[in-house]
Amino acid sequence: MSTRRSISGATRKSSATTPSAVDAVTAWDTTTGSTGIVIADLDTGVRFEHPDLQWAGAGGRLLPGYTFISDTFVANDGDAQDADASDPGDWVTQADLSRAECSGGTAGNSSWHGTRTAGLLGALSNNGTGIAGMTWSAWLLPVRVLGKCGGLDSDIVAGMLWAAGIHVNGVPDNPYPARIENMSLGGTGACPQQYIDVISQLTAKGVLVVASAGNEGGLVDTPANCPGVAGVAGIRHAGTKVGYSSLGPEVALSAPAGNCVNTAPGSACLYPVTSATNQGATTPGAYGYTDQVNNPNLGTSFSAPIVSGIAGLMLAANGNLNSAQLISRLKEGSVAFPQTSATTTTMCHVPASSSDLQTVECICTLDGQTCGAGMASASGALNAALRPTAAVKVPPSVGPGTNVTLDGSGSSAACKRTIASYQWASSDQAHPVTNSNGPSTTVTAPATGTFTVTLTITDDAGKKDVATVIISSSAATTSAPATAGTNACLTAIAVPSPVTISISPTAGSLQAGSGTTQSFSATVGYTLNTQVTWQVNTVRIGRRFDSVCVGNSHDHRAARQQRHQRWP
């Protein structure tokens, strides 16, 4: 049985009327991001020419990326898997609906969905043009896994692996591994084992996966419901759950998804999530931006990149944070949901089944079981990321009455900060620590029972973190890492230069009818791909070449399994 997946300006400070705004402006006073971070956007591809995105190496943010769509019809650009991650459009005609790939779908214009999510992640900012992305410096890696009528699980999980720098057979390795993968897509049903396996690999590499909760108003979709993923629900400007957003205990936190308030025909949508787009109805046209009247941006698809961008700011401040730590501190920095509303008294509840839909506004509960831990806050999450990370190395074995050495020297501070002090404490006066204020200490294991030892570290800015160790007669266990890492300040990533072509000679002269020839050579100055071809399009007598085209030769195919479909 096949499963379909769907594609699923909140930067100002919060206020009495817009408490859900994520307060990126305050966060930007501390950091606007880092060029040492890559955020992958697994979506429909992007329009590289958009002035708020553009190619990396030519003043823009977009890395070359890759297309993993294995179905030529779905890819909609004449072939399937290749090194071109540009979005050709995903419009669906009435005739397309007769195809198996589009079963259950609807006809419609191109969504330019990947360009919209990419704009929220990292549109060029502070440049007097268009919009501001959540992070101003991270590189964006477009990974095209969705096309006409959606995409396949097999293509999506391949794209997830490749984006993280893990080898995928038949595809050139990714030279720009991502630390964050944004997935504004999803489908109903339990998390499939193939996603569980892939996310486990990504988590082991410290890669954070952020996914939209879904737009059905019911159970959280896959992959947002998978273990280790930061599932993001959608909230209204007022901080209540927007009617269409899915919800449940798998959600980590919520972010603005866009809502209109007014419903009169032709009236402006008051609270959309504005982003970059393209104005072509089918094939690409002029670049543009979503608006409040004709093309408002609404959906949990646009909640996820807000959170992914916030995670990018967090890594810029503390590059040692792994995926679990990022999720924990995103929650820590979130703002509590308002418990009153001028427009509803209905409390959200955990969906009892797939048919238990909550498609109208409701008040998110404070127990973390419906809309997550709270409302996403860029300033709050960044403040949490700036805390140090306590690490404790414990011995591999313990015996009754033996000395147990606990080593906290692997703890680390955020970028440009240092650990100022260590403080150890035992919960059992009969088993005190031998050194209460050094990087390591020793305690005696009990003959029976257990007690705890707590390490509190403080950095030079007064920020703290705590790790707890449980000591028994046979073991010392802790959830803290043995080492917190040594890369708090990330190294800038070198991005590709633009492809350049030089022609030699630049001009030639021949006698018409003489039978003589003139040779020209083209030198490609840069390309990521190993096979490059060029051809002369036009030659005019008495003039040099008018144009030279460079094309990349790749042809890969992948097995077809489950199918996905995009969100509105």
Given the residues 50, 52, 113, 303, select the one marked as catalytic. Answer: 113
- Alpha-carbon distances, residue 436 vs 293, 430, 473 (angstroms): 63, 15, 22
* Enclosing H/E stretch for 27: helix 24-28
Given the residues 43, 87, 153, 465, select the one marked as catalytic. Answer: 43
Beta carbons of 133 and 77 less than 8 angstroms apart: no
DSSP 247-286: -STTEEEEEE--B----STTPPPSB----EEE--SSS--S
**Residues written for the chain:** 568
Concerning whether 50 is annotated as a catalytic residue, the answer is no
Concerning whether 428 is annotated as a catalytic residue, the answer is no
Contact partners, residue 4, CB within 8 Å, separation at least 6:
104, 150, 187, 562, 563, 564, 565
Given the residues 70, 254, 301, 377, select the one marked as catalytic. Answer: 301
Termini Cα distance of the chain: 24
Three-state secondary structure of 482-531 = CCCCCCCCCCCCCCCCCCCEEEECCCCCCCCCCCCCCCCEEEECCCCCCC
Closest CA to 19 of 271, 292, 383, 366: 271
Concerning whether 43 is annotated as a catalytic residue, the answer is yes
Burial track 188-215 (b if 16+ CB lie within 10 A, e otherwise): bbebbeebeebbeebbeebbbbbbbbbb
- Catalytic (active-site) positions: 43, 113, 301
